[in-house]
Structure 1
Amino acid sequence: MKSYRTIQGTAEAAYEIQKSRFLTHVSHAASEEEARAFIQARKKEFFDARHNCSAYVLGAEGAKQKSNDDGEPGGTAGNPMLEAIKQQGLTDVVVVVTRYFGGIKLGAGGLIRAYHHSAMLGLSVADIVEMVPFCIVQLRISYPLLAAVEHYLRQEEIRTGEKKYAEDVMIPLLLREEEAVAVCEELTNLTAGTGKLQRAGIQVVAVPVA
């Protein structure tokens, strides 16, 4: 499983050119149903606007893509918005750009630039995260080793889940695939071979993108 980039929550932006106002609304969408629901909600909210154009990209590989010009000349709205999402390398994202016509025609080229710019503005203020698959490795150690192991985990900035305290201490480790072998070897050495390590599946974690 590969990592991919998406956004968390929603974001908004506004842009005006030659008296036409463009309102951008961006949202995370985990499915086509969620994307369609977001589009319909914006159309209902801005029912008095001339156009509510939309685009979305879905799936870890970005395989599901769709755009809608909503009455604008073909290819001048939805597709430029779709290209903006793809240029940012994002998926599971839906964008709606609402246009209030200002009385001055922008022409095909002007519309393409305006819708692309509006989509980029909305995406630029969104909370972008990378969805990273981590290996879950269960570490079982005795209590006397806990302080040394916790120090190592903090020092190496290794993500952990909730510890469980029983006869021994169970610590779920979240490791990137490329670091898993090296970390497990380090922990084996640190615990003199007494620490028990067992893989327990995959967990996808949202990592903020700087």
Structure 2
Amino acid sequence: MEDTYRTLAAPSDEVLLKEKSSKFFGYAFPVESEEEIRSALDNIRKQHPTARHWCYAWQLGTTDIRYRANDDGEPSHTAGTPIYGQIQSFGVTNVLVIVARYFGGIKLGAGGLIVAYRETARMALEASDIIEKTIESRMEIRVSYKDLNRVMRAVRENRLTICEQDMTEDCRLVVACRKRDENAVFEIFNSMFGIDVKIQKLAVKKRHPYNKFPTRSKM
């Protein structure tokens, strides 16, 4: 089972494409929620308050894919779609790419816009550190104190990560393993008498929204 995916290690540096007096500033961000996407967009709009357009595309998920491409007033499919095409071309997910355009007074036409937005998105992703991450499966285990040692031994032997634990009444643990090992690990605990185990739905980890702008390129 494939249980890895490609994403960005950190926000890219700012990139700049100039085309017939128009300027296209590009940025790529790793994101894990639509909340983070909105925050990054708000920051770029504040950084470029006089830009004519703030076009973007994003993709979230590893199995259940969600995505959006936004032209922000440019002719249909001339901005968001070519930006999203580069996300697909680089094979990354949990990624947002934004391109802020300053209009230079010369119209580029549909073909020119497609090329400009595509190339700016490509430059932003090329300026990013692309890494491979492992997809995790999490399991919630409920066990009495008298059986806790058996559970902890299995956790150690299978090199599982304890993500949460609550020992206030009976014991509750949340452990993580690689997605490809999910069935085998589940059976280990499910076969133990007196142990209640269930697989959790994949949860998006909340992170602090990016509030620092990427490094500016030279004009």
TM-score by length of structure 2 reads: 0.61
The whole-number CA distance in structure 2 between the counterparts of 1:94 and 1:176 is: 25
Match of 2:79 in 1: 77
Amino acid at match of 1:113: V
Match of 2:7 in 1: 6
Q: Unpaired runs of 5+ in structure 1? A: 141-158, 162-173, 179-200, 202-210
Match of 2:62 in 1: 60
Match of 1:124 in 2: 126
Amino acid at match of 2:71: D
Structure 1 residue 104, shift from structure 2 partner: 1.3
The whole-number CA distance in structure 2 between the counterparts of 1:73 and 1:175 is: 44
Structure 1 residue 20, shift from structure 2 partner: 1.0
Structure 1 residue 62, shift from structure 2 partner: 6.2
Amino acid at match of 1:8: A
Moved over 3 A (4+): 137-140, 174-178
* 1:148-187 matched pairs, under 5 angstroms: none
Alignment pair present for 1:112 and 2:89: no
Deviation string 1:90-119 (CA, Å, 9 cap, x unpaired) is: 111001101111111111011001101100
Match of 1:97 among 86, 96, 99: 99
The whole-number CA distance in structure 1 between the counterparts of 2:119 and 2:110 is: 14
**Which has the higher Rg, Structure 1 or Structure 2?**
1
Deviation string 1:11-30 (CA, Å, 9 cap, x unpaired) is: 12111111111100111111
Tell me the C-alpha RMSD between the 2 structures.
3.4
- 8 Å contact from structure 1 (residues 134, 175) kept in 2: yes
Deviation string 1:6-56 (CA, Å, 9 cap, x unpaired) is: 102201211111111110011111111111211122112211011111110
Report the CA distance shift for 1:175/1:4 in structure 2 as closer, same or farther (over 3 A): closer
Amino acid at match of 1:57: Q
The whole-number CA distance in structure 2 between the counterparts of 1:129 and 1:62 is: 20
Alignment pair present for 1:45 and 2:47: yes
- 8 Å contact from structure 2 (residues 58, 67) kept in 1: yes
SS in 1 for 2:41: helix
Report the CA distance shift for 1:21/1:112 in structure 2 as closer, same or farther (over 3 A): same
- 8 Å contact from structure 2 (residues 8, 129) kept in 1: yes
Amino acid at match of 1:36: R
TM-score by length of structure 1 reads: 0.64
Q: Unpaired runs of 5+ in structure 2? A: 138-153, 162-176, 182-198, 200-219
Structure 1 residue 64, shift from structure 2 partner: 0.7
State the percentage of identical aligned residues.
39
Amino acid at match of 2:8: I
- 8 Å contact from structure 1 (residues 62, 91) kept in 2: no
SS in 1 for 2:113: helix
Match of 1:151 in 2: none
The whole-number CA distance in structure 2 between the counterparts of 1:119 and 1:62 is: 24
Report the CA distance shift for 1:175/1:98 in structure 2 as closer, same or farther (over 3 A): closer
- 8 Å contact from structure 1 (residues 62, 92) kept in 2: no
Amino acid at match of 1:9: A
Match of 1:15 in 2: 17
The whole-number CA distance in structure 2 between the counterparts of 1:176 and 1:15 is: 40
SS in 2 for 1:72: coil
